[in-house]
Amino acid sequence: MKHPLDKFRFCPSCGSKHFDVNNSTSKKCGKCGFIYYFNPKAATVAVIVNEDDEILVTVRANEPAKGTLDLPGGFCESYETAEESVMREVNEETGVEVDSTEYMFSLPNIYPYSGLDVHTMDLFFKCSVTGYDMTAMDDVAELKWIPLKELDAEQFGLDSIKRGVVKIMDVL
């Protein structure tokens, strides 16, 4: 198995090429001593269920897993809370405002992006929204409401979302 920082060959502090594996989660510069730790990137996932016990799913417009089902969400930005992130992501992908969020659970994931395996920590939130007049936007090709009892985790393209859907079916 490759080290998660394998593609990082030069020290980000001094630029030295003596940037070598320190342990399973870090690299250390042999010239200046700088240690870079590899930590997961935070991402949020919205679980939105309507009064008919249907869950809002998206169809991915881009790779990875283009054309498969997903749940609204995305990467947290610097200086925002996870709650602010899930609210922003839902709005960017559907055009609706989130009224409230409730943390459910988290799952680790590996998200392939630009030739890198980005390790993420996906934070799932139950969200209530104002209205259901939605439009697929941003990186979403389509929005669908699926009855909870008809959810099939295998239709979801990202591993953590598949595992999350299984957990969601157990708790909702």
Parallel/antiparallel/unpaired status of strands 41-47 and 73-75:
antiparallel
How many CA atoms within 13 Å lie on the side-chain side of 71? 29
Q: What is the pTM of this model?
A: 0.91
Residues of the domain holding 148: 41-171
Whether residues 22 and 56 share a domain: the answer is no
In this predicted structure, the answer to whether residue 1 has a pLDDT above a threshold of 80 is: no
**Quick one: pLDDT at residue 90?**
98
Q: For 21-65, what is each residue's pLDDT tens digit?
A: 999 999 999 999 999 999 999 999 999 999 999 999 999 999 999
**Quick one: pLDDT at residue 153?**
97
Tokens representing 129?
Answer: 């929204």
Whether residues 16 and 67 share a domain: the answer is no
- The structural domain count of the chain equals 2
Whether residues 76 and 129 share a domain: the answer is yes
Q: Is 142 a catalytic residue?
A: yes
What Cα–Cα distance (Å) separates residue 132 from each residue in 27, 94, 104?
47, 9, 22
Residue 68 pLDDT grade (very low, low, confident, very high; cuts 50, 70, 90): very high
Annotated catalytic residue: which of 63, 77, 97, 142? Answer: 142
CA distance 124 to 105: 5
Whether residues 34 and 49 share a domain: the answer is no
Whether residues 58 and 119 share a domain: the answer is yes
